[in-house]
């Protein structure tokens, strides 16, 4: 049976990214044909400026060479412009007569540069700046001529001016507005940029309107004349005054266009067999010129071309990241502000640093950064997520490293890092390796970096730094996804929140049901999504959903931590860190009997037996006759305690007694990630309660509760939550907070990251301020844990060895 035919008109970045996404999820669905007007395969248009500047070659910026098309059985027509679409016969016709029929048509015709309608705009030496041909013309002109005029002080214009200056030309930038980059910067930042570029040899004429381009004796452009009568020499004129969606082909075929080819949220035009993506598109009245939104469109279009039918493109919030001759600029959102917004401004003209943050209703709505843009991606993520910032408002201007960046190592100045600096400690990946991969392989997402370099693919703590490097390297082409919209894994386009909501709304109780209903791309999921789905089912329907052993990690299946030599570490539970001589005697006997090579006291006040062979695990647990410490699980780990008022002369509360109560209440609690608690009997805090998921500190009048602490790769101090009077209130408030985290947290999201996402105010409103809701949360927690038993003890008692071996594969 023959496959349906997909024809794509346009061979640019947005269109080819759509094909890449389609090939990922449905590689054999179509016979694919591509028409490209240029003689080149798909290349990275963003990197034309480094080619102009002499830093890269054309070959360096090719994203998909001819072999890629051949390897994927794609017929490629280069250098052929499609002139007509016959919608009745469903075929496209190129100018040279080449025809291809289609079942589905994808229009990715991009945009065309706008040429000022002034006399002389057709003269030799007057060009736009859009493709490789334009770039080659500028490089050749720089070898022969002296004076260059760039009309347009926007992104493209400044990149062209910078490249021509580096090629040795005398460059003047002409701009109609009062300052540079008026769509991306406010006046203060624009003037600072102008001065910095003037110091580097560029000249500027602002508030100038071009009247005509004047020819010389040879017939080539020789000068530019302005409406005020001023005239300057010009051997080369580069028009960089904007782009227009290329809709001519679509309009000639009767496809509805209005400032672009009009599409719906599935990227479908008014003809249901024709889709469109990229700069040629108008979606909800908006045409996008940056790469990141176009890639989002491509992903959705691919989803529907593959007949999955579950993706929607709802628009993009964009940011600008530009690096011109060593000057860092960043802007996003509504950076101009209005009467109902407020501004936080830092202006250090001598130091070359300017920052303006625009706030409305305790949310960041826009910002401009000049000179120091390291926090740009952080601000932009905050803006996209609509995060409430009132608690960090006083520190907001000073950046993420000042406020705290849990789990994201080395936030500071990604752009200033040396290439030799290590970014990913797990895999030993340096910044230079990541930057090289981004440039050579055309990477645009964090997933791309993980795939090609392995950075951030292990513990994930360097993900933010990788995104910083990505943003610094490709500028506005990179836009971080909103936190709530990031897919669970590559098996699906759905986010964690969408999965949680669907499980509850559709009352799904099996992993297979979720995958079927949400149209998973892979038949059985992967090691990332299966454990997450398993957790979401159990936490949503604790009485109906059954735990799936296949969807647990090896440590959970084996009930012990696997070590690098293949042996295991066993940690028996000691409630609150307390033990007895009998327990210690059994631990010593087990250590001798099984020749345990290493015995260590853990940071959570437990004893760890390291070096136990897999075949001995069942016998070890039988001989210990102690409950598991769950040191391997996404669950309650330990409640660390000091000796408290029981023994300490400074103690104000019975810390050990409180710790034992909490640990027994929470025993066998399954959670999105590991959970650690601590109880200190006085404010001296010897149990380090200030860096735990829940920290309890005794004071004279009761207890203070802190939440969201983390002692991991980067320490995060817990935030004050509430003050309570007695043990019962400690258990109720702590239990309710943890139950809220269990019900709302994303899998593998620590409490600190959960709070960063939803805000401390959100949890306080549900637990501290709403008595009825707190009691309901606490009741659900107790109901789910009231029958908690040590699952390993049952398995040791009743499961044969061969069954255990099967479970722990």
β-bridge mates for residue 438, sequence order: none
Helices and strands, number each (H, E), in the chain = 28, 38
| Spatial contact of 355 and 397, defined as CB atoms under 8 Å apart | yes
Inter-helix orientation angle 581-593/617-624, to 10°: 150
Question: Which tokens sit at 180?
Answer: 């540079």
Task: Retrieve residue 450's tokens.
Answer: 């993980």
What phi-psi label fits residue 118: left (phi over 0), alpha (psi between -120 and 50 degrees) or beta? beta
Q: Which of 357, 409, 403, 347 is nearest to 380 (CA)?
A: 357
Place of tokens 């007509």: 84
- Rounded to an integer, what distance in angstroms lies between the CA atom of residue 35 and that of residue 6? 11
Pairing state of beta strands 422-424 and 429-430?
antiparallel
How far is Cα 358 from Cα 626, in angstroms, rounded to an integer? 57
Structure-token pair, residue 80: 């052929």
Q: Tell me the sheet residues that pair with 332.
A: 319, 367
Place of tokens 């490249």: 163
Please tell me whether 280 is known to bind a ligand: no
Spatial separation of the C-alpha atoms in residues 349 and 370, rounded to whole Å = 10
Tell me whether residue 489 is annotated as binding: no
74: β partners:
32
Q: Is residue 257 a known part of a binding site?
A: no
The helix (H) or strand (E) run that includes residue 401 is: helix 400-403
Return the HEC string of 455-495: CCCCCCCCHHHHHHHHHHHHHHHCCCCCHHHCECCCCCCCE
Judged by phi (left if over 0) then psi (alpha if -120 to 50, else beta), residue 548 lies in beta
- DSSP sequence for 309-369: ----------EEEEEETTEEEEEEE--S--TT-EEEEEEETTTTEEEEEEEETTEEEEEEE
Distance of alpha carbon 118 from alpha carbon 237, whole angstroms = 13
Tell me which residue has tokens 């008109």.
Answer: 9
CB contact at 8 A, 703 and 653: yes
- Distance of CA 591 to CAs 595, 608, 609, 619, 628, Å? 6, 10, 7, 12, 16
Helix/strand/coil for 539: helix
Residue 682 marked ligand-binding: yes
Per the CB < 8 A criterion, the answer to whether 628 and 667 are in contact is no
| Spatial separation of the C-alpha atoms in residues 510 and 533, rounded to whole Å | 9
Residues 184, 176: contact at Cβ < 8 Å?
Answer: no
Residue 371: strand, helix, or coil: coil
* DSSP-assigned letters across all residues of 211-265: EEEEE-TTSSEEEEEETTS-EEE-SEEEE-S-EEE--HHHHHTT--BSSSEEE-T
Instruction: Record the tokens describing residue 602, joined without a space.
Output: 């853990």
**End-to-end distance of the chain based on CA atoms, in angstroms?**
41
Kind of pairing between the strands at 363-370 and 353-360: antiparallel
d(CA 385, CA 495): 14
DSSP-assigned letter for residue 454: -
Are 781 and 739 contacting, i.e. CB atoms less than 8 angstroms apart?
A: yes
Annotated binding site: 642, 648, 682, 686
Annotated binding site for [4Fe-4S] cluster: 642, 648, 682, 686
Annotated binding site for siroheme: 686
């Amino acid at each position: 049976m023959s496959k349906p035919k997909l024809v794509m008109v346009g061979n640019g970045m947005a269109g080819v990214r759509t094909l890449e996404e389609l090939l990922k999820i449905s590689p054999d669905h179509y016979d694919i044909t591509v028409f490209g007007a240029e003689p080149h395969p798909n290349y990275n248009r963003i990197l034309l400026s480094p080619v102009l500047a002499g830093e890269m070659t054309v070959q360096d910026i090719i994203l998909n060479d001819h072999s890629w098309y051949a390897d994927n059985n794609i017929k490629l027509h280069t250098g052929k412009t499609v002139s007509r679409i016959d919608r009745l016969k469903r075929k496209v016709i190129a100018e040279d007569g080449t025809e291809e029929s289609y079942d589905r048509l994808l229009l990715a015709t991009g945009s065309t540069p706008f040429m000022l309608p002034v006399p002389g705009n057709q003269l030799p030496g007057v060009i736009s700046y859009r493709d490789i041909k334009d770039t080659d013309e500028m490089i050749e002109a720089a070898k022969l001529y002296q004076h260059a005029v760039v009309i347009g002080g926007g992104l493209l214009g400044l990149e062209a001016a910078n490249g021509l200056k580096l090629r040795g030309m005398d460059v003047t930038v002409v701009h109609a507005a009062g300052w540079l980059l008026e769509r991306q910067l406010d006046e203060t930042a624009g003037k600072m940029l102008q001065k910095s570029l003037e110091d580097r040899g560029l000249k500027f004429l602002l508030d100038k309107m071009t009247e005509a381009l004047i020819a010389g004796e040879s017939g080539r452009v020789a000068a530019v004349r302005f409406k005020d009568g001023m005239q300057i020499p010009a051997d080369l004129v580069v028009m960089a005054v904007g782009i227009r969606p290329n809709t001519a082909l679509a309009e000639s075929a009767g496809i509805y266009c209005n400032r672009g080819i009009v599409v719906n949220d599935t990227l479908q035009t008014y003809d249901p067999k024709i889709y469109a993506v990229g700069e040629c598109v108008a979606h909800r009245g908006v045409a996008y010129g940056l790469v990141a939104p176009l890639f989002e469109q491509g992903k959705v279009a691919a989803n529907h071309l593959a007949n999955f039918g579950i993706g929607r493109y709802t628009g993009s919030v964009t940011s600008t990241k530009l690096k011109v001759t060593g000057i860092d600029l960043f802007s996003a959102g509504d950076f101009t502000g209005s009467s109902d917004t407020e501004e936080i401004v830092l202006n250090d003209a001598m130091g070359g640093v300017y920052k303006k943050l625009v706030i409305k209703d305790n949310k960041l709505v826009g910002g401009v950064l000049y000179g120091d843009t390291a926090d740009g991606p952080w601000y932009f993520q905050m803006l996209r997520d609509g995060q409430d910032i009132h608690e960090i408002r006083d520190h907001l201007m000073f950046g993420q490293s000042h406020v705290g960046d849990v789990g994201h190592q080395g936030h500071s100045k990604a752009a200033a890092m040396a290439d030799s600096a290590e970014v990913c400690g797990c895999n030993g990946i340096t910044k230079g390796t990541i930057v090289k991969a981004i440039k050579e392989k055309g990477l645009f997402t964090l997933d791309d970096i993980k795939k090609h370099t392995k950075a951030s693919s292990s513990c994930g703590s360097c993900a933010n730094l990788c995104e910083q490097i990505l943003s610094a390297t490709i500028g506005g082409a990179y836009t971080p996804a909103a936190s709530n919209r990031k897919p669970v894994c590559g098996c699906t386009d759905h986010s964690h929140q969408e999965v949680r909501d669907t499980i509850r709304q559709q009352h799904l109780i099996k992993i297979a049901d979720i995958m079927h209903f949400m149209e998973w791309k892979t038949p059985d999921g992967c090691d990332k999504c299966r454990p997450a789905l398993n957790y979401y089912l159990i936490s949503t329907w604790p009485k109906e959903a059954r735990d799936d052993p296949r969807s647990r990690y090896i440590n959970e299946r084996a009930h012990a931590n696997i070590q690098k030599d293949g042996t295991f570490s066993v940690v028996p539970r000691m409630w609150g860190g307390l033990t007895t001589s009998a327990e210690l005697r059994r631990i010593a006997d087990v250590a001798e009997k099984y020749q345990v090579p290493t015995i260590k006291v853990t940071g959570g006040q437990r004893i760890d037996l390291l070096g136990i062979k897999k075949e001995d695990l069942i016998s070890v647990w039988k001989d210990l006759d102690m409950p598991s410490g769950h040191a391997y699980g996404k669950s309650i780990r330990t409640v660390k305690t000091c000796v408290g008022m029981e023994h300490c002369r400074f103690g104000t509360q019975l810390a050990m007694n409180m710790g034992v109560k909490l640990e027994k209440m929470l025993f066998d609690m399954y959670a999105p990630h590991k959970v650690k608690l601590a109880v200190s009997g006085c404010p001296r805090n010897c149990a380090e309660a200030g860096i735990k998921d829940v920290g309890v500190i005794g004071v004279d009048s009761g207890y203070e509760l802190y939440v969201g602490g983390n002692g991991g790769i980067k320490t995060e101090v817990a935030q004050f939550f509430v003050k309570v009077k007695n043990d019962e209130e400690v258990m109720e408030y702590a239990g309710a907070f943890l139950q809220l985290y269990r019900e709302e947290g994303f899998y593998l999201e620590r409490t600190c990251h959960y709070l960063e996402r939803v805000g401390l105010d959100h949890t306080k409103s549900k637990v501290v301020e709403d008595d009825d809701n707190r009691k309901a949360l606490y009741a659900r927690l107790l109901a789910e844990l009231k029958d908690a038993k040590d699952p390993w003890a049952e398995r040791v008692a009743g499961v044969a060895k061969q069954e255990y071996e099967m479970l722990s594969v």
